[in-house]
Structures are given as C-alpha cells and as structure tokens.
Structure 1
C-alpha cells in the first residue's frame, strides 16, 4: 500500500503555541536554535488560519521574530532554506522594505525545489520583499472577499479574506492574514493546483479589478 504523505506548510513568523513547536526552529541574528513559544501571537494566528483551511496539513514553524515584529533578510532567508527541504507551501506573512541578495537567492532556490511561496503585499506604499520577487505569490487583503473568496488585482496580486471589519473581523488583519489565507487555499487545493499555483488561484478568483468577474488570467 502506498504511503500518503501529509502536505506540509512552512510558516516564517513568530512561532506558534507550545504544542506545535516541537519541530520548530528559531533563527537568530547569528545562528539558530530551538524555538520559543510565540510571544507576539502573529504566527499562532497565521497557523490557525491555515489549519482552518486545510485541517490535514502539517504545520512547520520557523521563528524569525522575538518579542518585537522586527527581523532581517538574512534570518528570513535562512528560515526559507530550512523549510524548503520538506514544505510544499511556505507562507511569509511579512514584508521587508529593501531587496536583499540573500533573500532573493533563498526564494529562487526554494522555488526551484518546487515550493510555493506566498508573501504579504500591503496595498499601500511601495514594493516589499519577498512578495515582489518573480514567482512569489503576492497576497493582500480584499474587503470584498469572504472566507471562500479570492480576487485577482493589478500586477498579479491575489486578494483574499483578511479578517476585515466588513466580515466581522477584529484585532489582527490586513495583508499578513491574507497571505495566510491564500496559503490555506493552496494547501487545501494543492493536488489541483499542480505546477502553476498562481494560475490556479487566479482561475478561482471571484473578483477581478474593482467589479468585474474574471475573464482572462494575465501571465506572471
């Protein structure tokens, strides 16, 4: 009998609750070590969204935040390198203001391994990384989207549910939770998504632009 492997989703964030952290790793300014329980609550929220979307998925945490939401391109890059060894999907509910070679190379290597990378892309301000890299799925919050919905926005950004007040959300919200939701869509439909997850997400978009339904999927 063939053994069916559980799909693994890597989470680059602040960690998770203690019962999910046995296999987690923390990436420090220098080196790495055992992860601590989540002190910000953000990684826990991201994990809960993915678990709700894909209950059978295995979650693998890489901790790059300590007690403040501040990290570096090097820490994130090392987390991606580590997770890409066994994760089909990696979600980065974060964005860095500058393009850094070490981060760009880590993303390129993970994509070459067949990992799907989903990263937060805030709707305001300039580009952020890793969402701006080719091949990385950029995700942002779209208040039109309920839990099951997706949208296709300009520049190939995928919009999704983001715990917005329009849908009863309180507390955390925005692009970071939308990235988690998009990763959850992928985790739930990974067998269907095949080798082009962006096209699969775009094909299932309920909205394109401000009002129109999806008519054609642009190349990205």
Structure 2
C-alpha cells in the first residue's frame, strides 16, 4: 500500500500538471465563516494548483489561498490535526490550534464611564481646531498628563498634517461605527470586514464592562487622539469576550495589507507562536506596512506573540512591540517585560471613546500600542528622511531612558533598550 504522504505528493503533482493552463485565482476576500475549525494548517501550493484541487487533495476546506505567494491555509478537525499522515507531508507545516488563541490586551474591565458631551468628534480633523490650550489637552482633559508625557503637543506642531492620508488598520473587537468620534475618520465601508461573524459590518457586540466589548473602539479612539487626521480601517477578529482565532487574525492582516493600510495595530496577543500569523505579518511588512503589537498583561518575563518576534532587523523589520508604564515612568504592574520588548508607552487609565457614544477609560498594553501607531501615522503623513524599514527602529531609539537613577532596576533592558515613547524626539529625527 502506498503511504498517504507519497500518495498526496503524486496527487498534487498530477493536479499541478492538469492546472497549468488554469491558474487558480488568489482569494482576496476570505470565505464566509460558517464554522470555526479546531485547527489550521498552512501548506505550500504547487504551481498551477487551484484552490479546489488543493482542497480535494487534502480533504479539508481551503480557508486562505494565494497562488502567487504559494501558500494556503486549511481548516482541520481535531482528529485530522492529530492524524499520523500530516506529520510526514513535505508540503505541509505543523497544525496549529485555532480557537481562541488570541486575546485582547487589556486589564479586566472598563475603569469608568461618562456620557460623551463634546459633540461631533469628526471635528478633530477640522482645519484649525485647537486640541491643545495652554498645555492642556482640551479635547479629553483626563488624558492631559498621558499626552504631556509622550510630548504630543510638540508632535502635533512638528507634524501639522496630523496623520492625513495614512490608513491605520485596527484589528480588534470591531468599532462602534456610529460613534461621533469616528465621523469622517473611517475608511470606505466597502473596505470594512468582520472576520469573526463573517460579514462586512465590524461593529462592536456585547455589554460594556464585560469581556472585550468596547476594546476596539477604545484602541481606534487613541489612534485618532494622537493622529487626528488619520483614517481608521476597522477589522473585527475578536468576539465579545475578547478572544479570537489564528485564522481570523491572519486573514485580517492580509486584508489590511491588500486594502493599503500603511499601519496595522494589533492590540492582541497569544502565549503561543503562530507561524501562520507571523507569515501574514511578514507579507504585510514586505508590502510596506508597519505593524505594532501589544506585549501582554500577565506581568510575565516574556512578551506575547506576535510582539515577541518584533525585534528590529531581520523578521522584525518594520514592526514594533509595545509595553506599558505609568505616567511616573514605572513599569505597569500588569505589563509583560522582556529583552525582546522594544518600546513602552502610557497604558493606564487612558480615556477614549466607548460604544454607544460614551467616553470610557481602559488600562492595558492595548492602550499603549495605539499611541505608537498614531505616532507612526504622524511621521508618515509628514514625510520622512529615513527609509521606511528604519522608522520603527528610530521610534524605539528616540525613547526616553526609563532606567536613569535606578528607575525600573528589576526590569533593566526589559522595557526597551531605552524605553518610553517620546514623539517629539522621534519626529525631530525622522520628518522632512
């Protein structure tokens, strides 16, 4: 009897010959998610093989497929993933657990809430609007100290385009699409995608104060406070409990890149490395996107994935990992830390739009990460004197030193080589 691996190789060889005259179309829009597979498997696609042929050969649905890049991702049952045949297939990687592998990087619940009374926040982008008045952040006064610390007022002076023309993909729990904070600031509706529900309406779902509901809205709101004229591309991959799958995160990264997002914000993470997600990030950065990811909130001496792999140079080029400190520059009690961590920002009690027109406060490395994403948007909109591949590295290099005078001594060199986001120093170094 022919072994399964050998048989599959023969089948794929025959399929490749049969498909030479009919190149399979690359799937730019993922298939509607009628079911969530227990496991996912990335495989190589022989030249000329179509999606249908590959699915028939493996006996599994093909959920991601790109003939030009030569890869596909299959959905597997637990039984298929543990079967002996997959271990020896030369075209296949290693099956990965899919369900709930990623979670939003926030601590517990919303800290407080207040009715939004400041009118249409689309006016953030209006020409001539005063955001800073005598050193106070007038739009949301509660954030004044946070933004004074990262030198946001000076950054807005150095980058007066305020992120205009820069698209930031927020891959998260979705966004409250009707919140006044996002009026005039969202990408065209035809670019939206809800990978969790399998439709084109990435709206938040859930109850405020429970699970991850409001997390994506808050993250997007922080991006726009830092870069008021940027465009938000809302992509939903996490459910109301704040968890999501390997498959949806990878699909969203590919989608964001295909839709021209210059920056991708991943305020989420996993304790386990996903080769499928890392490969999606690599494709995005090679196409010119900058990717920022949160370090995680377990107070562990290891940061979560994909942030773990975002070290300057090599595979980490054009990407950045972000942890959290207090306004007193001390490591946040919840923030993970590691020699892999490149930067920290302010992630405690950050006020931002919440669902249903509210103003809410969140804490977590998730809140620190969009401060960095917004800072990158400021630089890109203004134009830079440094190569794109060096931009995230420069942001880390121009940070405040959080280790002076024994500060953060237990975490020396584990909160970034220098530490705290300094938007003024960064922009002075990189903008034209």
TM-score, reference length from structure 1? 0.80
Could you say which residue in structure 2 is the equivalent of 1:83? 256
Mapped to 1, the partners of 2:361 and 2:282 lie a distance apart of 34
Shift of 1:67: 1.6
Report which of the two structures shows the higher radius of gyration computed on alpha carbons: 2
- 2:363 matched to 1:197? no
Where do 1:118-197 residues align within 5 Å?
118-122=292-296, 124-125=299-300, 126-133=302-309, 134-135=315-316, 136-144=319-327, 154-164=339-349, 171-190=361-380, 191-192=383-384, 194-195=387-388, 196-197=390-391
Check conservation: 1:143, 1:164, Cα contact below 8 A: no
1:71-127 per-position Cα deviation (integer Å, ceiling 9, x unaligned) = 011110100000012011100001111111211110110111111000000362233
Partners in 2 of 1:87 and 1:178 — Cα distance? Answer: 20
- 2:282 is the alignment partner of 1:108: yes
The separation in 2 between residues aligned to 1:128 and 1:50, in whole angstroms, is 21
Is 1:6 aligned to residue 165 of structure 2? yes
Change (3 A) 1:212 1:156: farther
RMSD of aligned alpha carbons: 2.7
Gaps in structure 1 of 5+ consecutive residues: 147-152
Q: Distance in 2 between matches of 1:121 and 1:185?
A: 18
Separation (CA, whole Å) in 2 of partners of 1:68 and 1:145: 31
Is the CA contact 1:122–1:175 (under 8 Å) kept in the aligned structure 2?
yes
Count residues in correspondence. Answer: 200
Deviation at 1:128, TM superposition (A): 1.4
CA distance in 2, matches of 1:211, 1:122: 27
CA distance in 1, matches of 2:367, 2:393: 21
Kindly tell me: are residues 84 and 36 of structure 1, through their superposed partners in 2, closer, same or farther at Cα, counting changes over 3 Å? closer
Q: What secondary structure, in the 3-state scheme, does the structure 1 residue paired with 2:363 have? A: coil
The 1:66–1:113 alpha-carbon spacing in structure 2 relative to 1, beyond 3 Å, is same
**Is 1:28 the equivalent of 2:196?**
yes
Residue 157 (structure 1) shift = 2.0
Q: Which residue in 1 is equivalent to 2:112?
A: none
Which stretches in structure 2 are left out of the alignment for 5+ residues? Answer: 1-163, 206-212, 310-314, 330-337, 351-359, 408-415, 418-432
Quick one: distance in 1 between partners of 2:238 and 2:341?
28
Contact (CA 8 Å) 1:93, 1:175: kept in 2 or not?
A: yes
Q: Report the Cα distance in structure 1 between the residues aligned to 2:387 and 2:229, rounded to whole angstroms.
A: 18
Distance apart, 1:204 and its partner CA:
2.5
Name the CA distance, whole Å, in 2 between partners of 1:159 and 1:201: 11
Q: 1 CA distance for matches of 2:227 and 2:239?
A: 27
Asked if 1:17 corresponds to 2:185, the answer is no
1:197 Cα shift? 1.9
* 2:236 is the alignment partner of 1:63: yes
Q: 1:37 aligns with which of 203, 216, 220?
A: 203
